[in-house]
Structure 1
């Protein structure tokens, strides 16, 4: 006898878990039923739920939820890497943020996750020469979430932006995979120079709250930037830098700073 085909939910373990958590959340708090049904259980796939959430958050009197939903649906259907990166971001937040106890939380409540996924939509539009729409998405992300990411910036997957207030990432910035950053981080330029003018952040980097990384400089993989630092020169891999201007104060202290989220400097000396 032929075995029944697994459902789409069962084929996607992240989505399957989100749906299970959504059912449990409604049982625990029935007043959330409308929101959770609309945002999660009404949809057959993670991609559909993500498109709905992005469009609901970015909609305004100038651009309807329906139009934005059509744009997001198209992007997610044509570029599978968008949803795959979103899954990696969601798992990263769950693994690294002690305030995140369910996969459901980032999708519904965490503006860092939602802002990065909206940026990914804007980046897709930018790369498909739909620049004005990309700028519109950037504007709405800034207005709604307090995060300003240029749609031309290149950001990897497995990204966690904790608290996610006052983040600025410039046009030619590059952020690698498995990077963690806290609020008020700036990846900016140093003046009015043109062309390639923003930082290049390696894989596995941890950037502390309020840190500013300025100019076309490299931050090596698995390094740590202490909170409040101003980084103006290249950071070698697996080092800790701190201060204004930032200087090397020791080793990174572990092989994966962005995963451990350890920010005390005594471990770097």
Structure 2
């Protein structure tokens, strides 16, 4: 996938622009927004910088500052756009109800919150911790998705719906994960050292809580409303409060499909 990504990224951006043109023609009242959000930009980086600035909010000067901040991060670290492309492709590949790439970009607040987090994480890693915290605080207030800037998240994460998602300091999440609304991942409330480590292709269903120095193995699944306080081996499904192991997928890679039912 890595070698083909630039071509895929270009193709995806062309598709988004075509969809925006179609929306502007079908709904003239939305034409100005399509131009501001999509059509005035030559590439995904410009559109994302604009959308993040709009999401963070504030007056026109504050939005301009945040837009320039994002633009500079994308210019200095092109891998952020490669990752943003993989994040954008994730719901297209895993959510059969997804209407298309333009819809993800404009209406999946979990996606925009994730890209804002990636900007805050870059700031955090470069030593600009106060700016990272400020961006984190504003996006949390605006979109009700809280991802601490210190968190490490791989590419291809799909945050569906997004409201109430909280990911605390020190959490590590692998590639190709999926989570729904009200998911909480964080340290133990008893003060135990260490934060959760979430493997590749893990599915965390709505309201799932993962706390403490635990590991969720690759392609594992956690059922809706479950409370995970102990590690879950790769490929297993865990449900309940506290969560217990109930099954193991014959082919753990099948867990990448969000359409699979959970107990």
TM-score (norm 1): 0.91
Return the alpha-carbon distance in structure 2 between the equivalents of residues 119 and 63 of structure 1.
21
Helix, strand or coil at the partner of 1:12: helix
Helix, strand or coil at the partner of 1:56: helix
Could you tell which deviates more after superposition, 92-101 or 158-167? 92-101
Match of 1:139 in 2: 137
The correspondence of residues 55-134 of structure 1 with structure 2, limited to 5 A, is 55-61=53-59, 64-134=62-132
Helix, strand or coil at the partner of 2:141: helix
Does the 8 Å contact 1:207/1:227 carry over to 2?
Answer: yes
RMSD, matched Cα: 1.9
Q: Is residue 2:200 matched to residue 1:184?
A: no
Return the alpha-carbon distance in structure 1 between the equivalents of residues 143 and 190 of structure 2.
26
Does the 8 Å contact 1:126/1:151 carry over to 2?
Answer: yes
Could you tell which deviates more after superposition, 139-148 or 247-256? 247-256
Gaps of 5+ in 2: 1-5
Match of 2:249 in 1: 252
Report the CA distance shift for 1:214/1:131 in structure 2 as closer, same or farther (over 3 A): same
Match of 1:198 in 2: 195
Deviations 1:56-106 (A, max 9, x none): 211314970111111101100111121111111111112222332111011
- Give aligned pairs, total: 257
Helix, strand or coil at the partner of 1:248: strand
Helix, strand or coil at the partner of 1:213: strand
Q: Is residue 2:210 matched to residue 1:218?
A: no
Deviations 1:217-268 (A, max 9, x none): 1100001101111000010000011111111101136423132431332xxx
Return the alpha-carbon distance in structure 2 between the equivalents of residues 148 and 95 of structure 1.
25
Q: Which of the residues 171, 174, 182 maps onto 1:173? A: 171
Return the alpha-carbon distance in structure 2 between the equivalents of residues 173 and 10 of structure 1.
30
Return the alpha-carbon distance in structure 2 between the equivalents of residues 175 and 84 of structure 1.
17
Report the CA distance shift for 1:192/1:241 in structure 2 as closer, same or farther (over 3 A): closer
Helix, strand or coil at the partner of 1:245: coil
Return the alpha-carbon distance in structure 2 between the equivalents of residues 62 and 173 of structure 1.
34
Q: Is residue 2:232 matched to residue 1:229?
A: no
Larger CA Rg, structure 1 vs 2: 1
Deviations 1:16-75 (A, max 9, x none): 111111111112211110001000000111111111111121131497011111110110
Please state how far the C-alpha of 1:11 moved relative to its aligned partner. Answer: 7.3
Report the CA distance shift for 1:244/1:10 in structure 2 as closer, same or farther (over 3 A): closer
Q: Is residue 2:237 matched to residue 1:240?
A: yes
Helix, strand or coil at the partner of 1:64: helix
Does the 8 Å contact 1:9/1:15 carry over to 2?
Answer: no
TM-score (norm 2): 0.93
Gaps of 5+ in 1: 1-7
Please state how far the C-alpha of 1:10 moved relative to its aligned partner. Answer: 9.5
Helix, strand or coil at the partner of 2:210: strand
Does the 8 Å contact 1:9/1:45 carry over to 2?
Answer: no
